[in-house]
Structure 1
Amino acid sequence: MELLRNAVRPYAWGSRTTIPELLGRPVPAPHPEAELWMGAHPGDPSHVIGPDGTERSLLELVEADPVGQLGKSCAGRWGGRLPFLLKILAAEEPLSMQAHPSAAQAAEGYKREESARIPRDASNRNYPDPTAKPELVCALTEFHALAGFRDPERTIALLKAIETPGLAKYAVLLEAQPDPAGLRALFTTWITLPQAALDELLPEVLDSCVKHVRERGEFSVECRTILELGESHPRDAGVLAALLLNRLTLSAGEAIYLPAGNLHLYLHGTAVEILANSDNILRCGLTPKHVDVPELLRVVDFACGEMPVQSGERGSVDGPSAGKSASDRRLSVYRTDAPEFELSRIEWEAGDDGEIAVHDVGPQILLCTAGGLLVTADDGEQVELRRGQSVWLPAADPAVRVRPLSGERTQVFRATAGTC
Structure 2
Amino acid sequence: MELLRNAVRPYAWGSRTVIPELLGNPSPADHPEAELWMGAHPGDPSTLVGADGAERSLLDVVANDPDSQLGTTCTRLWGGRLPFLLKILAADEPLSMQAHPTAEQAREGYAREEGAGVPRDAGERNYPDPTAKPELVCALTEFHVLAGFRDALRTVELLRAIEPPSLSSYIDLLAGQPDADGLRALFTTWITLPQQTLDEVLPDVLSACATHADAGGEFATECHTIVELGERHPRDAGVLAALLLNRIVLRAGEAIYLPPGNLHLYLRGTAVEILANSDNVLRCGLTPKHVDVPELLRVVDFADGDMPVLRGECAAGCDRMLVYPTDAAEFELARLYWRAGDAGEARLPYAGPRIVVCTQGSVVLRGVDGSAREVELAKGSSVWLPASDPEIALWPADAGADCHVFCATPGKA
Query: What TM bracket, shorter-length normalisation?
Result: over 0.9
Whether the 8 Å contact between 2:350 and 2:409 is mirrored in structure 1 is: no
Displacement of 1:5: 0.1
Identify the residue that residue 338 of structure 1 maps to in structure 2: 328
Q: 1:360 to 1:220 in 2, by over 3 A?
A: closer
CA deviation vs aligned residue, 1:332-377 (integer Å, no higher than 9, x gap): 0000000000000000000000011224520000000010000011
Question: % of aligned pairs identical?
Answer: 69
Identify the residue that residue 245 of structure 2 maps to in structure 1: 245
Identify the residue that residue 378 of structure 1 maps to in structure 2: 368
Whether the 8 Å contact between 1:98 and 1:284 is mirrored in structure 2 is: yes
Identify the residue that residue 410 of structure 1 maps to in structure 2: 403
Whether the 8 Å contact between 1:344 and 1:413 is mirrored in structure 2 is: yes
Aligned 1:262-341 pairs, distance under 5 A: 262-316=262-316, 328-341=318-331
CA deviation vs aligned residue, 1:52-92 (integer Å, no higher than 9, x gap): 10100000000000000000000011000000000000000
Alignment-mate amino acid for residue 373 of structure 1? V
Q: 1:359 to 1:214 in 2, by over 3 A?
A: closer
- For these two proteins, the number of residue pairs brought into alignment is 410
Identify the residue that residue 167 of structure 1 maps to in structure 2: 167
Structure 2 residue 376 is the aligned partner of structure 1 residue 389? no
Identify the residue that residue 4 of structure 2 maps to in structure 1: 4
Aligned 1:56-205 pairs, distance under 5 A: 56-205=56-205
Displacement of 1:299: 0.1
Give TM-score, length-normalised by structure 2: 0.99
- SS of equivalent to 2:166: coil
Whether the 8 Å contact between 2:164 and 2:204 is mirrored in structure 1 is: yes
Displacement of 1:231: 0.4
Whether the 8 Å contact between 1:90 and 1:269 is mirrored in structure 2 is: yes
Alignment-mate amino acid for residue 156 of structure 2? I
Identify the residue that residue 44 of structure 2 maps to in structure 1: 44
CA deviation vs aligned residue, 1:22-52 (integer Å, no higher than 9, x gap): 0000100000000000000000000000111
CA RMSD across the alignment: 0.7
Q: 1:158 to 1:146 in 2, by over 3 A?
A: same
Aligned equivalents of 2:141, 2:102: Cα separation in 1: 29
Aligned equivalents of 2:38, 2:378: Cα separation in 1: 15
CA deviation vs aligned residue, 1:211-231 (integer Å, no higher than 9, x gap): 101111000000000001000
Runs of 4+ in 1 over 3 A off after TM superposition: none
Alignment-mate amino acid for residue 155 of structure 1? T
Displacement of 1:164: 1.6
Aligned equivalents of 1:287, 1:357: Cα separation in 2: 43
Displacement of 1:165: 1.4
Aligned equivalents of 2:379, 2:7: Cα separation in 1: 16
User: Which range moved further: 193-202 or 374-383?
Assistant: 374-383
Alignment-mate amino acid for residue 348 of structure 2? V
Whether the 8 Å contact between 1:360 and 1:400 is mirrored in structure 2 is: no
Aligned equivalents of 2:271, 2:13: Cα separation in 1: 14
Identify the residue that residue 324 of structure 1 maps to in structure 2: none
Alignment-mate amino acid for residue 11 of structure 1? Y
Give TM-score, length-normalised by structure 1: 0.97
- SS of equivalent to 1:166: helix
Aligned equivalents of 2:354, 2:57: Cα separation in 1: 16
Whether the 8 Å contact between 1:209 and 1:223 is mirrored in structure 2 is: yes
Aligned equivalents of 1:359, 1:197: Cα separation in 2: 54
Tell me, which stretches of 5 or more residues in structure 1 are unaligned?
A: 322-327
Q: 1:216 to 1:359 in 2, by over 3 A?
A: closer
Displacement of 1:315: 2.2
Alignment-mate amino acid for residue 13 of structure 1? W
Aligned equivalents of 1:368, 1:384: Cα separation in 2: 10
Whether the 8 Å contact between 1:148 and 1:304 is mirrored in structure 2 is: yes
Aligned 1:348-387 pairs, distance under 5 A: 348-380=338-370, 381-387=373-379
- SS of equivalent to 2:311: coil
Whether the 8 Å contact between 1:367 and 1:412 is mirrored in structure 2 is: yes
Identify the residue that residue 20 of structure 2 maps to in structure 1: 20
